[in-house]
Chains A and B, each alone.
Chain A
Amino acid sequence: MLLALFSLLILLFSSVLALCLRRDPSRSQDAGAYGAAAASAAGLIPAVRVLLTGVTETVSFPWQVPLGSLTFTLDPLAAFFLIPLYLLTGLSAVYGVDYLKSYSGKKPLGLAWAAFNLLTAAMVLVFTAGNAVLFMVGWELMAAASFLLVLFEHEKQQVRRAAFIYLAACGTGALLLLAAFSLLGAHSATLDFSSFPPPGRAAATAVFLLALCGFGLKAGFIPLHVWLPEAHPAAPSQVSAVMSGIMIKTGIYGLIRVLGFIRPWEDWWGWALLLLGAVSCLLGALFALAQHELKRVLAYSSIENIGIILMALGLGMVGAASGAYTLAGLAFAGALLHVLNHALFKGLLFMGAGAVLHAAGTAELEALGGLAKRLPRTAPLFLAGSAAACALPPFNGFAGEFLIYLGAFRSLNSPGSAALAGVLSGLALASAGALAAAAFARAGGVAFLGEPRTERAAGAHEAGGLMLFSMRALALLCLLAGLAGPLLLVPLAPAVAAGFGFPFASAAAEAAAVPLLYVSIGGLLLLALAALAAAKRRACLAGKVPAEGPTWDCGYAAPSPRMQYGASSFSQPLTDFFQPVLRKLGQYPVIPEYFPGRASFSAEAQAVFYNAVYMPAAARLRDIAYRFSWIQHGRLQLYIMYIVVTLLGLLLWKL
């Protein structure tokens, strides 16, 4: 525990140091990055120890803030979230050294590193806080630091808009959480998590709804996701990796914590989570398929994965309500495992997208192409990340979803509602997986395969050594986590026990051990097959020189890169089918003649929820606010009058 606090101190110190060294960008980069890496190394030790021993560690210091206490609790659940946090932030920081080099002298790198390490420290605080006040301090710090990072390229109007939307979402979420914690601590002397009394029925429902919306705004499931596809692409890539990989998981963590305070659960809560999750994972994958920018594709894929995690939580709660412990345990374990896995592969993917952005100067899919030949080291790593994101073995994405599938199939012989929940989530998971596979085949294929569509893509260059190091490390972790099989249960079981209860953990460990063994055996077999195929290919090609020709030549006399399948054309059959949901804007040429002249085609993905729900709501709110603008007249005297009247009112009310 003390080591975790020590890592917190390293982060804060290196944050200040990076800010102090801001005049010298390269030293400020070093201070920030190595501080973050050292903090990760220090922080991983207690996290792993707590997961192995299963013992909760607590430290408490006095604090003068009302209702607050500096109580840090490191239980297996927190430790399970801390591991991806430390892994990802450490590797992202190393990646960032190379990635930010090109901004040296143009951007305040010292401030960026200070904000990055502050963001990490704030997330450590969120995961280890044992007191609601401390938690909210971490939560707000996290929002502020990540807001600064989103605003990194603030000269772009798009980025400023993204940052503003993000700030609004953070503020709203924090407000709801304050209400939730106030309700929880209403009958308690302090706001320590351990001292929350079990709330009454109505209060528990209110807390659940507040926490669901408050944490949901951070986690970013549909329909609370609007900030996510804006802010993730706006931030520098290593920050997107951290935000998408672990920061949005703080929402999941908070939700699990609060669910622990408001037992017993109502039946419909699980259904609410399950349905929200199912909608998120389906729509997230579908929207990912329609995006034209690589990082936006990844952002929507994050929404999909958050949906999967939420759906698994919901499935587990429905199972718990109907007494199906095995089903619930498997679903909870799957949810947690997917948190870890998503952090690893989404971190890898965002870093890969960053490498593309770094190399070609753009991440617009229609401007890329043929990058596999120009970035020969990044391409297979991105492919590995994509395979993991599509839940394909032997990568780690499969293991987590496998547990959820296993739970869903177990539910079939459980009583009524659990079976229905299992069928529903199994269906949603399978459809979302298929859509995600299509989205990643499209994104990876259009960006890396074929011929470059623009000069910029043609002139792309390989990523720097530190960037490759981080991506390789994450890809290796993805593979290892996919092959670890039953070993995964060692950290998972105590985390499930700490988050949801001991019976679920033991049931899940019992039910999952053998299937996970099969998963890792299958993965190893697949790897062996791949190695065999590679060896065979090498043997066949030995002593021969393979002929090289243009990609997708197809017998055309003079093929041009514009003849390739583009991002829109690749996904058109699917997106047309889902047009009622996607509401793409665009125009399709109709070609009546045999020798057509000029024609143009355009397709644009819309932010459906933003345009259809949030914009009208915001406009309505603004209209209402204007109606009250006479209160805001700018006359000092009357402002003081408001204060006097309020004070008098309070005095008279208390008389």
Chain B
Amino acid sequence: MHTFAELIIVFVILLDLSLAVTGGLAACIRLVALQGVVAGLLPLLAGHGAPHPRGVAFALVIIILKGVVFPWLLTRARERSGARKDVEPLISYPASIMLCLAAFIASSWLGSRLPLPETEVAWIVPASLATIFTGFLLITTRSKAITQVLGYLVIENGIYIFGLALFVEQPLMVELAILLDVFVAVFVMGIAIFHISREFDHIDTAELSELSDWRRAGDAK
């Protein structure tokens, strides 16, 4: 069974790398959804024997939310905002993938240093950390508001996998709480993105810095 889980981990890492180089917004949304579904399958495969019915139910909820509801919300927000179809990165794709690889190396080192209990699935801690870093990468180097929501979701996937590594016994309770937060957050962000695009005719966060009065005060000086 663990080979399956390890395959999934490898798949998650590959998804991280492809997120770093994907230019299309729609493709990004699909990749994040796929990663969420794959991560949601993980607890079913990581345990011993047949999974508990409650676990199956939780996994189903997670998979539906991350695989269906969130992508639907985000796709809707993207279409309504009428934004350009690419993610408009602030740094080049090669740089992104280099950073992603660097993050993976750093996570491997960090994973070996963190005082964590022994995990049964190899690479689970580095993979989760790498996913979190990828999420931060998406947030900090892409200029659209939607990609920030996507980054947020990727971070959530990473935290979820990390939680699996730590609390194999009750990851679902923790996850459920986080999921609730994420759901609300995505919802709010979807609305916010819609309003931003309506007010400003774009969802480029760089333009939002025009709202800052500090800069003007400094320039006027």
Contact = CB atoms under 8 A, between A and B. Distances in A.
Interface of A: 626, 629, 632-638, 640-641, 644, 651, 655
Contact of A637 (B110, B140, B218, B221): B140
A637 B147 CA distance: 11
Contact of B212 (A634, A637, A640, A644): A634
23 contacts: A626-B218, A629-B218, A632-B212, A632-B215, A633-B212, A634-B209, A634-B210, A634-B212, A634-B214, A635-B206, A635-B209, A636-B148, A636-B208, A637-B90, A637-B139, A637-B142, A637-B143, A637-B148, A637-B205, A640-B136, A640-B139, A644-B140, A655-B113
Contact of B209 (A629, A633, A640, A641): A633
B114 interface: yes
A640 B140 contact: yes
A626 B221 contact: yes
Given A635-B206, A636-B148, A655-B114, A629 B139 contact: no
Contacts of A644: 136, 140
A641 B137 CA distance: 9
A633 B143 CA distance: 15
A620 to B, nearest CB: 14
Contacts of B140: 637-638, 640-641, 644
Nearest to B133: A644
Contacts of B113: 655
A511 B206 CA distance: 75
A531 B167 CA distance: 88
A583 to B, nearest CB: 29
A655 B110 CA distance: 9
A644 B135 CA distance: 11
Contacts of A634: 208-212, 214-215
A contact patch SS: helix
Interface string B55-72: 000000000000000000
Contacts of B136: 640-641, 644
B18 interface: no
Contacts of A651: 110
Contacts of A636: 148, 205, 208-209
B205 A635 contact: yes
Nearest to B212: A634
Interface string B26-64: 000000000000000000000000000000000000000
A422 B141 CA distance: 69
Nearest to B142: A637
B203 to A, nearest CB: 12
A78 B208 CA distance: 53
B193 to A, nearest CB: 13
A554 B162 CA distance: 94
Nearest to A630: B218
Question: What 7 A-B pairs have minimum CB-CB distances, sorted nearest first?
Answer: A634-B209, A634-B212, A629-B218, A637-B140, A641-B140, A636-B205, A644-B136
Contacts of B218: 626, 629
Contacts of A626: 218, 221
A243 B138 CA distance: 53
Nearest to A642: B140
